[in-house]
Amino acid sequence: MRAFVMAARTGSMTSAAKALNYSVSAVSVQIARLEKQLGVPLLERRGKSVVLTDAGHAVHSEACAAIEAHTRILAAVKVPVSSEAANGPQASHGVA
């Protein structure tokens, strides 16, 4: 979701990749997976830029809210966001 939100914010896969410290390919794959999961295109590719589709607009605000909630949860348990991003989500305490 972070890749999608950043691509929407910056208008570019390349800029999103730089902001997230990912490869452009990784950003593209993550967004493609999200689009496949939802069954709709979220971004319209226009050369080197991207713009939100109608579905992308609908998903964008919810994705931002989900990311903000995730960040608050990590802060509540004092897990640095960079640590979680680097190591992936950790299933612990019997909660997946």
Query: Which is nearest to 43 in space by CA: 19, 79, 54?
Result: 54
The mean pLDDT of 51-61, rounded to a whole number, is 97
Query: For all residues of the chain together, what is the average pLDDT?
Result: 88
Residues in the chain: 96
Residue 95 corresponds to which tokens in the numbers above?
């909660």
Reported confidence tier of residue 78, pLDDT bands at 50, 70, 90: confident
d(CA 30, CA 93): 27
Q: What is the pTM (predicted TM-score) of this model?
A: 0.77
d(CA 75, CA 30): 24
Reported confidence tier of residue 96, pLDDT bands at 50, 70, 90: very low
